[in-house]
Amino acid sequence: MMKRVMLPTCKRTKRYLFTTNTVDIAHVSNTAKSPSINNTKPPTAVVFMNMGGPSTVDETNDFLYQLFSDNDLIPISKKYQHIIAKYIAKFRTSSIEEQYKVIGGGSPIRKWSEYQASEVCKILDKTRPLTAPHKPYVAFRYAKPLTDETYKQLLKDGVKRAIAFSQYPQFSYSTTGSSINELWRQIKKLDPNRSVIWSCIDRWPTHHSLIKAFASNIKGALSEFSEDVRSNVTLLFSAHSLPMDVVNTGDAYPAEVGATVYAVMKELNFSNPYRLVWQSQVGPKPWLGAQTLEISKFLGPKSHGLLFIPIAFTSDHIETLFEIDKGIIEASPHKHKFKRCPSLNGSDIFIKGLADLVKEHLDSNTLYSKQLPLDFVLGKSNDPITHPSEVFGDHSKNLIKEEEKN
C-alpha cells in the first residue's frame, strides 16, 4: 500500500505527497475532475515519443537543424551547437531532400505513430476503464509535432495524467534520454505548477508484444524464399549505430538491442543463422559495428540469402525505406537474394501488445524503470535532468510550498 503524507495548505483542498516512486493512478483518475459542466473525467494521455521525421520534403531543413542541435544525440559544442547545426543542416538538406523524394515525399513515421497511438487508446478504453478515456498524442524530438506543441495541446485538453511512452524499445541516453530531457525543459517552461502528473515507459526490449510481432513478420518474410534455401537464409538484425564515445559511457543500448535479437531468435527456435549489425553511422568518429552495408557486401556472394530486419525501429522511415531498401538491397549485384522484413507499422500483434504494455504500466503504478536513474548518472548532456524523480510523479508539493508562502 502506498504511503501518503497529508500536508497542510492555506486552502481547504487535500493534496498528497507520495513517498514512493509510484503514482496512485486510481486516485488521480477518480478524483481529478474536469472543470466542465458535465463533470467528465480528464483524459489519460498516452504520449508516443520518438525522433520523428519530416512528413513533407519542405520540412527537411528544420528536421536536420533540430537533430544536429541536440547535444544529447550529437555532442558538438555547448556554446556553439546551434550555430554549427544551422550550417550542417544547410549543407545536408539538398541530398536528404532527394532521399525523401525517392521514398514518397516525406517520412511515414508520423502517420504510423499517430495510428498506433490511436489504436492503443481504443483498446485501453475497453481493457482499463479505470483510467479511461485514454487520449493519443505524438511528441517528436526533431519534427512536427515537437514536444512543446504536444505539451500545449495536453494542457488545452485538460490532461492531468500522462504516460511518456518511448517508441525506442531499447534505451539509449542519446534517444530516450534526450526526449526525457526535452520533456523536462518543456515542463519548466509550459507547466511550472506541475498540473500534469507524468510517468514513463522508458524501455521494453524483450516485451512479448515486440518479440512476437517481429517473429511473426520474420516468418512471413522467410516464406518468400524458396523452400530449399529458407532455413539457411541469414538473418541480419540491423539497428541504428552509436558513436563509440557514447557506447563507452556505459550506454544501455547495445546490450538491450542484443537482448531483443536473442529473444526474437528464441521465439523462432533459432531457425536460421543470424547476426546483429549496425547502420546509419556518419562522420569520421568510430561507431559501433559491424556495419550493415559492409557485412551485406561480404556475405552477399556467399549466402543462400539475406533477410534484413530493422530491429530498433517500430515503423518505416528513411533508414528502412531508403538506406536499406535503396542503398543496400537495390544497389547490390546480389539483390535477387536479399529481402527486407516488413516493419511493425500496423501489425495487430504489435498494437495489441503496446496496449498491454501501457496497461501493465498503469496497473503497476510505476513511474519509471529501476535502470533510469543510472542512465542519467552515466549519460552526458549540456542540459540534463539530475534525476528522473524531477520529471515523473506527483509534484503538487511544489504548489503546496507556494501556497504556504502566500
Active site amino acids: 356
Contact present, 8 and 403 (Cβ < 8 Å): no
Partners of 136 in the β-ladder = 46
H/E stretch holding 6: strand 4-6
Query: Helices (H) and strands (E) in the chain — how many of each?
Result: 14, 10
Distance, in Å, from the CA atom of 356 to the CA atom of 325, rounded to the nearest integer, reads 32
Closest CA to 274 of 307, 242, 228, 298: 307
CB atoms within 10 A of CB 7: 15
191: amino acid identity, one letter: D
Relative orientation angle of helices 109-127 and 348-364, to the nearest 10 degrees: 60
Report the interhelical angle of 208-222 vs 348-364 (nearest 10°): 170
Cβ(238)–Cβ(325) under 8 Å? no
In total, the chain counts a number of residues equal to: 406
Element (H, E) at 200: strand 197-201
Question: In which residue are the cell numbers 527486407 written?
Answer: 340
